Chain A
Amino acid sequence: MAGAFQERYRPGDSRIHRLDPRIKTVTALFLILGVVLTPERAWPAYPLIWALLGSMAEISGIRAWRLGRMAALVLPFTLAAVALPFTMPGRTVFEILGLAASDTGLARLFAVVLKSWLSAQSALLLTTTTPFTDLLWALSSLRVPPTLVTILGFTYRYLYTLKEEAERLIRARDSRSGTLPGKKSGGSLCWRAQVAGAMIGNLFIRSYERSERVYLAMRARGYTGEMKGFSRPAPTLNVLLSGALPVLVLVLIEVMAVILWSS
């Protein structure tokens, strides 16, 4: 879980970094939508989409293969679709352990995996080039309820504080958990779970009391339930166009996919 707290944002000054976060968010969503809508068997479309995302990565200063490798984090979920070739009817391509893999099932499996890998690259491009606070601001200007956005902002603000609080608890548990080689350490599974549970209960009380302190501090500074932020100018046409460009390229690929390759 330690790696799970690694923030993905990488500071930079590329064209993509400088792009208005609202445009970037919408573009990323459209790209994902386009990827998911690709006809299943339009195989030539997938490398083209990858080339599009890869070149955007290169522009933003990330190597295309690195982005691809980072996006591989979605691959374990393939497990959910791995039974498809053996349950979908179709022409048998190969047999394994007496189970026949059908062509339709294999095609669907590959398409799903490719789509999720490409979608993850689009989402990663957004988060690696946009500071999270900018992303939140983009969400609020895209009509996500402001209260929810503020709650998300608070979660982000206290994420690392409470993570360190949890790490202190874990360190304390580690230092009281001595082990002797060859001897079973700790109690039963229930006991171990109960210890972890007590730590979580402890963390909850600390968090709850912290939220009370934070609230009182905010009250003292004149908080009335509304968060104030800076407003930004509407995006210029130029910015809009640079956001629309990758979407247009993708639309072109999709049109070709539907007309030429989805026979």
Chain B
Amino acid sequence: MFASHLAMHIPDGFLSVPVSLFGWALAIGLIAIALGQTKKVLGERQVPLMGILAAFIFAAQMINFPVAGGTSGHLIGGMLAAILLGPWGAVLVMTSVVALQALLFQDGGLLVLGFNIFNMGIVSAFVGYGVYSLLGKVTGHSRAGNLFNAAVGAWMSVEAAAVAVTLQLVVSGTSPLSVAFPAMVGVHALIGFGEALITVGALAFIQQARPDLVGRPNQMAKRGAGWIAVGLIIALVIVGFSPLADPNPDGLERVAEDQGFIDTAQGPSYEILPDYTVPFIEDSALTTIAAGVIGVLIVAGVGYGVGRLNRRSNQQMEQV
């Protein structure tokens, strides 16, 4: 959907430099794990499979369907890739898609590419996969059950990516939380609905034609994936509920600036805003931002922990 393209690919300039660099750190760490995990399962098949399936996602995004009033929906792909390739495979495939969109077609910036990869590749793959496999434990892996879980997972994956984008914009001080959050979540509730429909359509077809390609997540590396999915969901829930606590946008913005996202140019304007320095507002708004930061830190911590565990288990395997 055009709107999803617009809202998901952040251009340079919209994220502050520290936020952008943090995004790179997150993306690089998780991509490194994804490379190792898929290599372990696929061996030398990794390169052609991942490369061609990334091209597949690209081409699949071309296949659109009319929605209403001249708009059309199309696949984003994180959930579908995660079902078919496992979360780590999906991370690699979506990373290539997002990186190529930035490098080849200027969809999304270069300095912010880390977070674009994180949002559309990592968040959507892990949240989608997390929801899909959690629900799978309840419903079992019947065909109908898979389709239902894929629909819920697809919707969640789009919403989660949208929340992540919003958070980054808000922390960078380029979007007010009070407006951006409901707008992004609202728009992506619809886009996520389209994503769910189309993911189900694709999955139903593949289950019919090549059932061997679906529902064998064990074959694809998924170690550590559960932890990351859980971490992301916790982080996003925290972030998702935090703005409800504080309806005052000005206070939020004020604190976003106080947190260090201002520059010298901001100096004089403070003299005009004594009204806004109500300690009470500052406090509750501070918790909002803090919650966002904690959410992101949880993700970072989990990513780091998985990396450590992964390395250790590799060493053990070598010793054996």
Q: Quick check: A4 and B265 within 8 Å, CB to CB?
A: no
Q: Quick check: B35 and A158 within 8 Å, CB to CB?
A: no
Complex Cα distance, B173 from A77, in Å, reads 15
Q: Quick check: B110 and A211 within 8 Å, CB to CB?
A: no
Of B95-103, B129-137, B223-231, B304-312, the one with at least 4 CB within 8 A of chain A:
B95-103
Q: Which of B43, B58, B276 has the most CB of A within 10 A?
A: B58
Interface membership of chain A positions 126-145, coded 1 if the CB is closer than 8 angstroms to chain B and 0 otherwise? 01000010010000000001
Of B60-68, B238-246, B285-293, B294-302, the one with at least 4 CB within 8 A of chain A:
B60-68
- Across the interface, which residues of B come within 8 angstroms of A103, CB to CB? 269
Tell me how many residue pairs across A and B have CB atoms closer than 8 Å. 324
Known: A91-B272, A201-B206, A208-B213. A225 touches B43 (CB 8 A): yes
Q: Does B284 contact A (CB under 8 A)?
A: no
Complex Cα distance, B103 from A124, in Å, reads 9
Known: A199-B63, A200-B60, A225-B43. A123 touches B110 (CB 8 A): yes
Q: Does B236 contact A (CB under 8 A)?
A: no
Q: Quick check: B12 and A169 within 8 Å, CB to CB?
A: no
Q: Quick check: A8 and B105 within 8 Å, CB to CB?
A: yes
Q: Which secondary structure characterizes the binding site on chain B?
A: helix
Shortest distance from the beta carbon of A55 to any chain B beta carbon, whole Å: 20
- Across the interface, which residues of A come within 8 angstroms of B275, CB to CB? 89
Known: A39-B264, A104-B269. A196 touches B64 (CB 8 A): yes
Nearest residue in B to A193 (C-beta to C-beta)? B197
Shortest distance from the beta carbon of A102 to any chain B beta carbon, whole Å: 8
- Across the interface, which residues of A come within 8 angstroms of B110, CB to CB? 28-29, 32, 119, 123
Of A107-115, A228-236, A242-250, the one with at least 4 CB within 8 A of chain B:
A107-115
Q: Does B107 contact A (CB under 8 A)?
A: yes
Q: Does B253 contact A (CB under 8 A)?
A: yes
Q: Quick check: B106 and A123 within 8 Å, CB to CB?
A: yes
Q: Quick check: B60 and A83 within 8 Å, CB to CB?
A: no
Q: Quick check: B201 and A203 within 8 Å, CB to CB?
A: no
Q: Does B10 contact A (CB under 8 A)?
A: yes
Q: Which of B63, B109, B175, B253 has the most CB of A within 10 A?
A: B63
- Across the interface, which residues of B come within 8 angstroms of A79, CB to CB? 6-7
Known: A135-B103, A225-B43. A157 touches B62 (CB 8 A): no
Known: A42-B265, A162-B56. A73 touches B62 (CB 8 A): no
Q: Quick check: B63 and A87 within 8 Å, CB to CB?
A: no
Q: Quick check: B209 and A192 within 8 Å, CB to CB?
A: no
Q: Does A152 contact B (CB under 8 A)?
A: yes
For chain A, residues 184 to 225, give those with C-beta under 8 angstroms from any C-beta of chain B: 186, 189-190, 192-205, 207-208, 210-211, 214-215, 218-219, 223-225
Q: Quick check: A112 and B13 within 8 Å, CB to CB?
A: yes
- Across the interface, which residues of B come within 8 angstroms of A165, CB to CB? 59
Q: Quick check: B109 and A1 within 8 Å, CB to CB?
A: no
Q: Does A156 contact B (CB under 8 A)?
A: yes
Q: Does B186 contact A (CB under 8 A)?
A: no
By size class, the interface of chain A is: 35 or more
Partner of B32, one of A40, A86, A107, A145: A145
Q: Quick check: B253 and A87 within 8 Å, CB to CB?
A: yes
- Across the interface, which residues of B come within 8 angstroms of A61, CB to CB? none
Nearest residue in A to B101 (C-beta to C-beta)? A4
For chain B, residues 7 to 56, give those with C-beta under 8 angstroms from any C-beta of chain A: 7, 9-14, 16-17, 20, 31-32, 35, 39, 43-56
Nearest residue in B to A119 (C-beta to C-beta)? B12
For chain B, residues 188 to 203, give those with C-beta under 8 angstroms from any C-beta of chain A: 194, 197-203
Q: Which of B6, B49, B80, B209 has the most CB of A within 10 A?
A: B49
A-B contact pairs, 12 of them (CB 8 A): A1-B64, A29-B111, A84-B174, A87-B176, A88-B176, A88-B250, A147-B47, A154-B48, A155-B58, A156-B104, A166-B60, A193-B198
> 4 nearest interchain CB pairs?
A197-B201, A154-B51, A201-B205, A116-B13
**19 new A-B contacts at CB < 8 Å, known A77-B14, A115-B12, A156-B104:** A29-B110, A104-B269, A108-B173, A119-B109, A135-B103, A151-B51, A154-B48, A154-B54, A155-B55, A155-B100, A157-B55, A163-B59, A163-B62, A201-B203, A207-B55, A208-B49, A208-B210, A211-B48, A227-B47
Task: Tell me the A residues contacting B by CB distance below 8 Å.
Answer: 1-2, 4-8, 28-29, 32-33, 35-37, 39-42, 70, 73-74, 76-77, 79-81, 83-84, 86-91, 103-104, 107-108, 112-120, 123-124, 127, 132, 135, 145, 147-148, 150-159, 161-163, 165-167, 169-170, 186, 189-190, 192-205, 207-208, 210-211, 214-215, 218-219, 223-225, 227, 258, 262-263
